[in-house]
Chain A
Amino acid sequence: MNLLFIFIISFLSIETPGINGYQPGDKATDFSLKSITGKMVSMADYKDARGFIVVFTCNHCPFAVMYQDRINELAKKYTPKGYVLLAVNPNDPAVQPADSYAFMQERAKEKGFVFPYLFDEGQKVYPQYGATKTPHAFLLDRNLIVKYIGAIDDNAEDASLAKEKYLENAIMSLENGTDPVPSITKAIGCSIKVKKS
């Protein structure tokens, strides 16, 4: 009986498709998430935004760490142009203690983050977006239509060697009123940490 049960469970886990998230062209849902300052942040708070850069990222993942300065630079560069960068930590700190709210505050202070660093408490937001890893970037236009999903650029290890700056190119396309090409890219990253059911 037990064996049969295990067999069924393992079968289910094989056949279950991945999380369905957004595709370019979909309308993203706004959220209300707690920032490291304690303030709740929503996209609706930014009435004059030209677009939103939502980056699922975290403290612990080496890939995310390699991009944290680049994300900060993006925020510095595009905030004056009307883009709002929101970083969201989707991990459950019970699984990865380094991704706790307190450590988020510490990291933001240490790195001088100029963007809101938000905590997806209860892990409700990342599945809606279909984020599967950190870092995982989403570019939305002012009406929250998804324009780009994927990597920030094509060289995690060395920013200066990046040939394709996917996310910045997508912002450029949005500025020019065209759809980004590519609109989806893939990169290796850390899986989002979720408690096992």
Chain B
Amino acid sequence: MKFITHLHICIIFLLAFPKGTSAQNLRIFDTFEEFKNSILLHNDTTYVINFWATWCKPCVKELPYFESYHRTTGKQKIKVILVSLDFNKQIDTHLKPFLSKNHYTAHTVVLADKNFNSWISEIDESWSGAIPATLLLSGDKRSFVEKEFESSEDISQYVDSFTHH
């Protein structure tokens, strides 16, 4: 009986959070080193890594574009990763409720290393620190842009021109 109850809870859980990052399994990286080792990977997948925060209006506006782009990638070796730079004090109060509400299925993580000056240039020399910003990684190739995308097609064109360049 107990098992069945657990099963129910599991099913409810799965229904509520279809395969995406839920507020419950959100990975928080306390150091840039950890983040770099698990997120900034150089292999045959193209990583589309978007830096955002719930307090950043233009970021929140473009998240649905990243989400719908992510849904179009299908079996292609493209992975969208949404990296939240939310304030540490607001992870539970702002970020988690935001993620639960929006049900984004793109992989979401938190980079909580607040010693910004130590790592911003490692993402890209040209990055001033303004968000939104997006990094593309594929093997040894990389491209970085400090701008707001206008649509999922806009993202798609940017990624295509990167992969075909």
Question: Which A residues are within 8 Å of any B CB, using their own CB?
Answer: 6-7, 10-11, 13-14, 17-18, 62, 96, 132-133, 136, 150-151, 154-157, 164, 166, 182, 185-192
Contact = CB atoms under 8 A, between A and B. Distances in A.
Most buried by B among A151, A157, A187: A187
B120 A13 contact: no
Interface in B38-82: 53, 55-58
B157 interface: yes
Contacts of B89: 157
Interface string B77-97: 000000001011100000000
14 contacts: A7-B157, A10-B157, A13-B145, A14-B158, A62-B87, A96-B57, A133-B130, A151-B116, A154-B117, A164-B117, A185-B117, A187-B129, A188-B131, A190-B56
A82 to B, nearest CB: 28
A190 B54 CA distance: 12
A8 B160 CA distance: 13
B88 A189 contact: no
Contacts of A157: 87-89, 114
* Pairs of residues from A and B, 6 with the lowest C-beta to C-beta distance, nearest first: A133-B130, A132-B128, A186-B120, A191-B130, A62-B55, A187-B116
Interface string B143-155: 1011110000010
Given A6-B157, A155-B114, A157-B87, 4 more contacts: A14-B143, A187-B129, A189-B130, A191-B130
Contacts of A156: 87, 114
A186 B127 contact: yes
Interface in B120-165: 120-121, 126-132, 143, 145-148, 154, 157-158, 161-162
A91 to B, nearest CB: 11
B132 A18 contact: no
A96 B148 CA distance: 15
B89 to A, nearest CB: 6
Nearest to B55: A62
A190 B145 CA distance: 15
A136 B120 CA distance: 15
A150 B117 contact: yes
A182 B116 CA distance: 14
B115 interface: yes
